[in-house]
Structure 1
Amino acid sequence: MPVGELFLAAFLQVLFDRLASPELLAFARREGLKKKLDKWRKLLSMIQKVLDDAEEKELHAQSTAVKEWLEDLKDLAYDVEDILDEFATEALRCKLKVKNQASTSKVRNLIPAYFSGLSPYAIMLRTRLESNIKDMTPRFKDLVARKGELNLKELVDRSSEKIRGTVQAPTSVVNEARVYGREGDKKALLDLLKSQAQESVDTQVSVIPILGMGGIGKTTLAQLIYNDQEVESLFDLKAWACVSEDFDAVRVTKTILRSISPGSRDDNDLNLLQIGLKEALKGKKFLVVLDDLWNDRYHDWTILFTPFEAGAPGSVVIITTRNREVANTTSTTEAYQLDLLSNDASMSIFTHHALRAKDFSSHPHLKDFGEEIVRKCKRLPLAAKVLGGLLRSKLQDRDAWEEILNSEIWNILEQRREIVPALMLSYYHLPSHLKRCFAYCSILPKDYEFEEKEVVLLWMAEGLIQPQQKEKEMEDLGSKYFRDLLARSFFQQSNDKKSRFMTHDLINDLAKSVAGNTCFRMEDRVEGSKQGSIFTKARHLSYLGDQYDGFKKFEAFSELTCLRTFLPLMLPYPGWCFLTSYVSLELSPTLRCLRVLSLNGYHITKISN
């Protein structure tokens, strides 16, 4: 399921903002280019309005021409940003060169003086920028013309509906015999619930969040608690409601009211519904589960929560969420952080769904492949369940198991349309600025542990952090971006070092899917998991370093003329690794768009001027 268009929409919004910047407009007016840039904005606006329809058509594989159109659009967007970067670089150069203007003077006041000069450099720069702007315009017009040929229409954005429509909302019903590895979590949460259910607690109604990434089993744990016999005896009333990403207080209130008062009338008036719910809960000790809560707006939460306050002391609301901000907004106690399963529990889930058995005793010929497939699931229960179900009808087909083992797990799950939509929802709900930051993380290898500052500095170098307030330091804002992604379960804290982080393999695959061919990891080409060649229009590149990285490794890099990131990672012997002089003396000077060039860890004696 393509999610790159969500990234593309966020990217176009960045271009709109930069095209409206005072610095660029000042230069455009001075040089008589404002009308051309206005034309760009109009054409971009026409293109932006049909992105949703383009995604719809690509999603249903109606035409490869649509995919090509989207790729050309993304390529154009990057080229436009490169031009804007060149302009910003020259404006900064101007700021540094003009005397007596070095402290707080605004760049836009310097541009006219600099670009109106008649020096050969100023004339060459003006000519080059004007030429670049003129060269881009036909590409804009071509995309608009092809938009009409592809019959792309302007639609109200409904991407969330399309994604949600592929995910069946769970109910409160569970078969505990088919749940593995959550005994400790169930006991811990039951103890917490019982402590909160005591009438002596300070708050009238306690709220306990269950927090974790998509597919980790939050709903399953809530189901176990909801159906526990001991819990039955603690409460007068119980109700279960799936909230989902589109927060609808009327729907949720109606669902809860129907659960505890089956004879209540069908009404869509929130006021009447809340009056009815308040009366039904008044003086009663209740347990309510609000499954899959996304909305972190405090005002919305207080509206939904108000009728609950009529309940008796010791009442409890359990919510499940992927977002720590939601937990912080709603909770009266510390959120219960749900971790990945053990390898043994993952194996039990897989064998149950694949073999209808607890282990491989009856199918020893499949054990070796099965164990490796489970390892690729990286302890995520939903992944083990989906892959097990996929192989359920192939118990005599060892080749089919080997094929699954050698395939990209992401591609398999994407075809099954089960766990991928669940992960896509997390990405869909990211703010635009976080979408680009997350997509950039696709250059980080699987199982790679990173520090917060390392990633923040990369984002800064790539221009992905855009301060909205002058008093906000860029690095502090980058740290906030990082913590936001961590709170939304895109990053996980390392088990070994608390200062280091990593991404689950499927989250890493999500980032790769979002970034498309603009981010490239060299090991993907080596392992043959992608097209098998370096993408000539890749913008960001990383590779795993060796002790001796010779010319052969980089000979194809000369094709990557638009490269922005050159990032070696995980060098085996930092300081004692050697890099061909071709990179530092010949290749790097030709990469005019570079923002990140790291040679850290290599023993280098010469660099280009």
Structure 2
Amino acid sequence: MAEQIPFTIAENLLSKLTSFASEEIGLVSGYKNDLRRLQTTLSTIKVVLLDAEEKQEDSHAVKDWIKRLKEVVYDADDLLDDVATEGLRRKVEGQGRIVRKACDFFSSSNQIAFRFKMGHRIKDIRERLEEVAKDMQTFGFITRNKVDMQVKNNWRETDSPVLKSEIIGRGEDKKKIINSLLCPDNQSNVSVVATVGFGGLGKTTLAQLVYNDEKVVNYFDLKIWACVYEESNVEMIVKIILKSANVEVSDLSLEQLQIRLRKHLEEKKYLMVLDDVWNVDYRIWGQLRKYLMDGAIGSKILLTTRNKRVALAMDVNSPYALGGLTEDQSWDLFEKLAFREGTSRVNPNLIEIGNKIAKKCKGVPFAIRALRGIMQLKSRESNEWMSILENEIWKSFEDDSDVGPVLKLSYDHLPYHLKQFFTYCAMFPMDYVFDKDILIYLWMAQGYLQCWSQSGNES
């Protein structure tokens, strides 16, 4: 796993070193030269971080270098926070009471003792950072400052959810799935419909379109959406389904869970979406089906999966195979995402290159959407778009249709200050539901967010 580059913490640290208040400098007087050297060394390292990030994929030594850098940078940031906190404490203490100098001199927090302690820490951090800087020559890092500023200035915010206006070429698929759901099964009260296709084709997006369609909403008495992913036992799957239906499940045995599930579904014509199912264990699905059979006539389970064997395990003999977009549909989607202002004033060369990029996406909507951010970041220069078209990742994508390489390409071209937000999210499990405010606080705790002054107002 790649080491996370400490872009923002390095910027914050440089900002703190530049704007140190006179009171704070007073606490470490005698070590100003060390702080200046620390600032100079960090500035030198910062301009090669983009290159270090790229090279770590092919070099364990570079990855180790980044790890050492992170340790020093975080230690330095902690040190400056300690100095700032001590400065604030002394200021408040001095305002709140008359300081008895004799007692304060002999206390553990007196200024001389504090300055001595901080001095040792500053020297240690400065020497460690200089050792890290020396090793840059070994790896031949190059400066990427120009790229850094360019992507920073051209970045535009994009929406994460898929908008209805951006869904192209799925009208017929949606119609067929809805017809399957609204058609009663003469053999059973509850029947299963499955959509199968490899990752990135838009199975979940299609299921969402179906789930929220007015005909579907009016037809079913109860709707439940559950993402079961890699769950490997019946108890966990039942819990996920009940939680999705807002039913309390804490401290219940499987027997109690299945009773509660049956009671919730009993005599209701329900639609249950089991999204992104991976597990193919026939015993699990055979047992689960027993718990789901108490719905009224016309109840349906809509399954989305990459694996046809999962559909067979749920007794679906003819799953709906979702195909890719046509070349025309792929271009329509690419054009809509990459040229939001339309193509009437766009360089024809750019349109030609964009068309070729769209074809390389092989009709996979997710791959096209993943490129949206890159294409909006890039200037309207043909050579920059050609760099995407001629990227090596397309070879991997052509071999197995795995959207991973395209996602990697999208990530590689993110502005450096946004990359860490995404890598931090990788710490959480698949399908984890984020609370927006809590996630922002976590990012703040990592030092990813900065405040800056604009026209005298803090933002």
Q: Normalization by structure 2: what TM-score? A: 0.50
- Map 1:270-285 onto structure 2 (within 5 A): 270-285=254-269
1:439-483 CA-partner distances (Å, limit 9, x unpaired) = xxxxxxx6xxxxxxxxxxxxxxxxxxxxxxxxxxxxxxxxxxxxx
> Partners in 2 of 1:391 and 1:363 — Cα distance?
13
Q: Is the 8 A contact 1:207 1:333 kept in 2?
A: no
Q: Is the 8 A contact 2:223 2:271 kept in 1?
A: yes
What is the aligned partner in structure 2 of residue 192 from structure 1?
Answer: 180
Secondary structure of the structure 1 residue equivalent to 2:377: coil
Q: CA deviation at 1:189?
A: 1.2
- Map 1:58-207 onto structure 2 (within 5 A): 62-63=60-61, 175-195=163-183, 198=184, 201-207=186-192
Amino acid at match of 2:224: A
Structure 2, unpaired ranges of 5+: 3-55, 65-159, 407-459
Distance 1:507-1:390 versus aligned 2 partners, 3 A rule: closer
Q: Is the 8 A contact 1:285 1:315 kept in 2?
A: yes
Q: Is the 8 A contact 1:205 1:313 kept in 2?
A: yes
Q: Which of these residues, 335, 345, 362, is aligned with residue 378 of structure 1?
A: 362
Q: Which of these residues, 235, 238, 243, is aligned with residue 223 of structure 2?
A: 238
> Partners in 2 of 1:255 and 1:219 — Cα distance?
17
Distance 1:330-1:60 versus aligned 2 partners, 3 A rule: farther
> Partners in 2 of 1:265 and 1:65 — Cα distance?
44
Distance 1:233-1:505 versus aligned 2 partners, 3 A rule: closer
Q: CA deviation at 1:265?
A: 4.5
Distance 1:332-1:377 versus aligned 2 partners, 3 A rule: closer
Q: Is the 8 A contact 1:186 1:225 kept in 2?
A: yes
1:547-569 CA-partner distances (Å, limit 9, x unpaired) = xxxxxxxxxxxxxxxxxxxxxxx
Q: CA deviation at 1:249?
A: 3.5
Structure 1, unpaired ranges of 5+: 3-57, 67-170, 415-419, 421-445, 447-502, 511-609
1:98-145 CA-partner distances (Å, limit 9, x unpaired) = xxxxxxxxxxxxxxxxxxxxxxxxxxxxxxxxxxxxxxxxxxxxxxxx
1:189-244 CA-partner distances (Å, limit 9, x unpaired) = 1111111xx3x621121111101111111111111111111100111111111111
What is the aligned partner in structure 2 of residue 222 from structure 1?
Answer: 207
> Partners in 1 of 2:385 and 2:258 — Cα distance?
53
What is the aligned partner in structure 1 of residue 240 from structure 2?
Answer: 255
Q: Is the 8 A contact 2:360 2:394 kept in 1?
A: no
Distance 1:215-1:280 versus aligned 2 partners, 3 A rule: same
What is the aligned partner in structure 2 of residue 290 from structure 1?
Answer: 274
What is the aligned partner in structure 1 of residue 312 from structure 2?
Answer: 328
What is the aligned partner in structure 1 of residue 437 from structure 2?
Answer: none
Q: CA deviation at 1:371?
A: 0.6
Is residue 2:339 matched to residue 1:351? Answer: no
> Partners in 2 of 1:362 and 1:275 — Cα distance?
63
What is the aligned partner in structure 2 of residue 434 from structure 1?
Answer: none
Amino acid at match of 1:381: P
Secondary structure of the structure 1 residue equivalent to 2:243: helix
Secondary structure of the structure 2 residue equivalent to 1:300: helix
What is the aligned partner in structure 2 of residue 363 from structure 1?
Answer: 346
Secondary structure of the structure 2 residue equivalent to 1:339: coil
> Partners in 2 of 1:282 and 1:59 — Cα distance?
54
1:155-182 CA-partner distances (Å, limit 9, x unpaired) = xxxxxxxxxxxxxxxx9x7532221110
Distance 1:505-1:174 versus aligned 2 partners, 3 A rule: closer
Amino acid at match of 2:179: D
Q: CA deviation at 1:505?
A: 5.3
Secondary structure of the structure 1 residue equivalent to 2:292: helix
Q: Is the 8 A contact 2:367 2:403 kept in 1?
A: no
Query: Aligned residues, how many?
Result: 257
Is residue 2:323 matched to residue 1:339? Answer: yes
Amino acid at match of 1:334: S
Distance 1:284-1:379 versus aligned 2 partners, 3 A rule: same
1:519-562 CA-partner distances (Å, limit 9, x unpaired) = xxxxxxxxxxxxxxxxxxxxxxxxxxxxxxxxxxxxxxxxxxxx
1:363-411 CA-partner distances (Å, limit 9, x unpaired) = 2342011011111111111111112222122243432211101112348
What is the aligned partner in structure 1 of residue 104 from structure 2?
Answer: none
> Partners in 1 of 2:326 and 2:314 — Cα distance?
29
What is the aligned partner in structure 1 of residue 376 from structure 2?
Answer: 392
Q: Is the 8 A contact 1:210 1:336 kept in 2?
A: yes
> Partners in 1 of 2:259 and 2:175 — Cα distance?
35
Distance 1:375-1:309 versus aligned 2 partners, 3 A rule: same
Q: CA deviation at 1:267?
A: 3.8
Distance 1:273-1:340 versus aligned 2 partners, 3 A rule: same
Distance 1:281-1:292 versus aligned 2 partners, 3 A rule: same
Q: CA deviation at 1:268?
A: 5.5
> Partners in 2 of 1:508 and 1:238 — Cα distance?
32
What is the aligned partner in structure 1 of residue 296 from structure 2?
Answer: 312
Q: Is the 8 A contact 1:210 1:338 kept in 2?
A: yes
> Partners in 1 of 2:371 and 2:171 — Cα distance?
23
Secondary structure of the structure 2 residue equivalent to 1:391: helix
Q: CA deviation at 1:333?
A: 5.0
